[in-house]
Every structure is written in C-alpha cells, then in structure tokens.
C-alpha cells in the first residue's frame, strides 16, 4: 500500500472513475465491438483495477474503498428500484413469469448441489462465500453480486476466480442460447408451445412506455439528492434495528433490504418518472464505479484456481438449464421464453434483451422487463441461495 502511486483519496477516486470512463469509451468504437461483445465493459471495470493494484499503481486497501462499499451500492439500488415498472412486469403473463421463476429456482438449488460435490476440493476455506456472491450475479446481475458479497463478507481474493466463472459459464451459456435460436420452431413443435403466447407478449409491450427526455439540472439534483438521502437514511435505520448485525443478516444487508423495498414502494408514485431523465443510468454508473474499487482490492493470483471453480459453475448452470427444459416440456413454453427466462437470471437486464432480440427482434423489451424482474427477485432469492451454500459448507 505504501508504494502505490495513488494514495490520496481524491486522486484514487478520480483514477478509478477515469478507468471506468475509459473502458466504456473504448466500447463505443465499432472496431472494438466484437471484443467487448464477449468481454463486456463491466468485466474490465473489475479487472483493470485489479491489474493496477498488482502493478503497484493503486493500493489494496484505502478508506475510499470502504466509503464506496457502504454508500454507492444502496445509492445505485435505490435508483434501479424506484424506476421499475412493476405493472408492466406483472402484465408479461403467467407463462413468462413462470419461466423466469423456474430459472431462479434452478439457480437457488443448483448452487448448493454444485458446492456439495466440489467444495471439498477447494483450497480456499471461504470459497463458499464466493459462490454465495456468484448466486447474486446469476439471479439478477452485478448489483445483486455486490450485495451478496457484502452480506456474506466474501474476501476480494475469493471473488476473483468466481468472476471468471461468471464470464465463461454465464456468457458461454448465452452463446449457446443464441445458437439455439435457429431451432426454436423445432423446439416449440416438440413441446407443443402455444403461438398465441408470443402474440400476447407483443400486445403487452404496446402498453409499456419508454419515453426519454433531455436531462436537466433540476433532474440531476433531484435524482442524486434523493438517492444519497435514501442510502444514508437506510444505513441509519439499519444500524438502529435491534436485530442488525446478527449472524445471518448483517447491518449492510438490512440497509440494502430497506432501500430496495422502499425504492420498489416509491416506484408506484410519480417519482418513477425520474427514469425519463435517466435515473437508472446514474444508478448503473454508481454500481460500476463501486465495482472498480472491488477489483482494486482483489488478488490476481486467485485467478489460477479457476479450472475447478469453472467445473462447479458449469454444473450449476446445467442444473438451472435442466429444470427450465423440464418445465418447458411439461407446460409447453416456447423456446423464446426458456431462453429469455434463463438469461433474465444468469445475465440480468443487460443480457436478457440481447437474447430476446435474437429470437424475436420485436420482443427484445420482454427481455428487459424479465431482467428487471430478475434483479428484484434476486435480492431476496440470492440470500436464500447463499445461506444454503453456507449450510452445505458447514458455515452455520
């Protein structure tokens, strides 16, 4: 830490922000689009700071990281939740919600099963915490991964190889789903899928608004001010709870649950219109900035343990996929909903629209809505999955 180039808190914060901006700026170049297609910017937001710490540019420990961990996550989650259109998600219909829910169940049960078979071979005694954090990523995306990391106290060195698993297994499965899009008619005939399901989804989308307006200074002041107040307020309430800091739900998790539940409640108010000014984009910026600090604390050497972790991750995904296919065979769900429901969990709101668009371009927004539903459900379901993994590991 003493030899790091950036020691001053403000200069360190500026450097991490510059890394994040540089990564996303490079991703806008057409020549680099194939590269970022398979290794998206969010992954580099984690690994570039890791390389910088290994090279002695950034410190492995800093008060900046603690502050970012405490406040940026609730700040971002509040904005992501308050801009959710829950009514539109409910209107997706029972079949769409069923496939997304079954995908979640597959992740929840797959994690403990995979860890029970591979856990004894991991050299890291806290490996279960890494898998508990990964469950958050596979039930909703990066926001839930960071939330579960905080809840279970996942060491930064333990998280490194699991992020590699997240990319290889998660995006590898995404590639398989894209490949299978050419065979969706055969699959739908095999399970006896009802074609009217897709038509109903298309009508639902006509009722979903996507209005955007140029952001104004008053919008920024309201969005940032309200989100900061929510983050600080939720933390204060969590610390005052008599049950805070227990063995199962720590103060940070209580703060997350409070800010998520409060944000969802406020999404039914006129405050949800803040999305028209880009509130969720500010939320994602805060989330990815937090991810840079997590990467800066990680140990690059931990990536050497990836092969065994990857096998466990592949089994985990296989259980998730198997349950989805069985449900589709029983219920007659089209492959479009199987693929979108799966990616709404494993890939979240960023990847689900891509897969949905490959199958049916006009229905890409279905993937977005299911992905949003995935990260709402993931805050709660991933906690249960993490607890089961810890129970299998003998931590409780």
181-203 pLDDT, tens per residue? 878 888 989 988 877 776 766 66
Interval 171-190 mean pLDDT: 83
pLDDT score of 213: 62
Q: Which residue has the tokens 């960023």?
A: 350
pLDDT score of 44: 84
339-352 pLDDT, tens per residue? 988 988 887 766 77
266-282 pLDDT, tens per residue? 888 888 888 877 788 88
Dihedral sign for Cα 228, 292, 304, 107, please.
positive
The pLDDT-based confidence of 247 (bands split at 50, 70, 90) is very low
Other beta carbons within 10 angstroms of residue 98's beta carbon come to: 16
pLDDT score of 1: 46
Least trusted range by pLDDT, from 15-24, 60-69, 108-117, 196-205: 196-205
- d(CA 379, CA 374) in angstroms, rounded, equals 9
202-221 pLDDT, tens per residue? 665 555 445 556 677 888 89
The model scores a pTM over 0.75: no
The pLDDT-based confidence of 300 (bands split at 50, 70, 90) is low
Residue 305 has pLDDT above 50, yes or no: yes
Interval 283-299 mean pLDDT: 80
The pLDDT-based confidence of 329 (bands split at 50, 70, 90) is very high
3-state DSSP of 306-326? HHHHHHHHHHHHHHHHHHHHH
pLDDT score of 203: 64
- Secondary structure letter of residue 173 according to DSSP: H
- d(CA 228, CA 221) in angstroms, rounded, equals 11
Residue 372 has pLDDT above 50, yes or no: yes
The pLDDT-based confidence of 114 (bands split at 50, 70, 90) is very high
Interval 19-43 mean pLDDT: 84
Residue 110 has pLDDT above 50, yes or no: yes
Dihedral angle of Cα 66, 67, 73, 76, to the nearest 10 degrees: -160
Coil, helix or strand for 132? helix
Q: Which CATH number fits domain 9-392: 3.30.40, 2.60.40, 1.10.3470, 1.20.1530?
A: 1.20.1530
Which residue ranges make up each domain of the chain?
9-392
CB distance 393 to 113 below 8 Å:
no
pLDDT score of 209: 47
In Å, what is the CA distance from 106 to each residue of 116, 167, 216, 260, 323? Answer: 15, 19, 43, 23, 6
Question: What token pair was written down for 386?
Answer: 């993490």
pLDDT score of 132: 93
125-164 pLDDT, tens per residue? 889 999 999 998 898 777 788 888 888 888 887 888 888 8
The pLDDT-based confidence of 313 (bands split at 50, 70, 90) is very high
Residue 62 has pLDDT above 60, yes or no: yes
1-30 pLDDT, tens per residue? 457 788 888 999 999 999 999 999 998 998
The mean of the pLDDT values for the chain is 82
């Amino acid at each position: 830490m003493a030899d790091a180039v950036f020691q001053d808190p403000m200069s360190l914060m500026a450097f991490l922000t510059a890394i994040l901006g540089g990564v996303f700026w490079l991703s806008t170049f057409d020549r680099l689009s194939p590269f970022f297609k398979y290794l998206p910017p969010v992954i580099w937001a984690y690994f570039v700071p890791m390389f910088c710490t290994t090279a002695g540019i950034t410190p492995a420990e800093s008060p900046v990281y603690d502050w970012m961990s405490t406040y940026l996550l609730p700040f971002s989650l509040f904005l992501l939740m308050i801009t959710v259109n829950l009514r539109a998600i409910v209107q997706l219909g029972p079949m769409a919600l069923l496939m997304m829910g079954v995908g979640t169940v597959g992740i929840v049960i797959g994690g403990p099963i995979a860890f029970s078979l591979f856990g004894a071979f991991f050299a890291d005694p806290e490996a279960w915490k890494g898998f508990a954090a990964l469950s958050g990523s596979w039930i909703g995306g990066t926001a839930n991964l960071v939330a579960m990391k905080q809840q279970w106290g996942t060491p930064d060195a333990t998280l490194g190889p699991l992020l590699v698993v997240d990319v290889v297994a998660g995006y590898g499965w995404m590639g398989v789903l894209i490949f299978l899009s050419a065979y969706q008619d055969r699959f739908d005939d095999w399970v006896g899928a009802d074609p009217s399901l897709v038509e109903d989804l298309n009508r639902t989308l006509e009722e979903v608004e996507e209005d955007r307006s140029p952001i104004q200074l008053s919008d920024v002041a309201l969005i940032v001010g309200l989100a900061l107040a929510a983050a600080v307020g939720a933390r204060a309430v969590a610390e005052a709870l008599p049950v805070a800091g227990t063995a199962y739900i720590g103060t940070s998790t209580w703060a997350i649950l409070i800010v998520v539940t409060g944000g969802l409640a406020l999404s039914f108010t006129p405050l949800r219109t803040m999305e028209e000014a880009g509130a969720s984009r500010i939320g994602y910026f805060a989330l990815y900035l937090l991810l840079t600090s997590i990467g800066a604390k990680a140990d690059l050497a931990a990536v050497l343990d990836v092969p065994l972790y990857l096998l466990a991750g592949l089994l985990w995904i296989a259980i998730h996929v198997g349950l989805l296919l069985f449900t589709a065979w029983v219920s007659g769900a089209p492959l479009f909903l199987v693929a979108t429901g799966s990616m709404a969990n494993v890939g979240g709101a960023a990847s689900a629209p891509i897969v949905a668009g490959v199958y049916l371009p006009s229905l890409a927004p279905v993937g977005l809505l299911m992905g949003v539903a995935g990260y709402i459900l993931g805050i709660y379901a991933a906690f249960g999955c993490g607890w089961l993994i810890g129970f299998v590991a003998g931590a409780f």
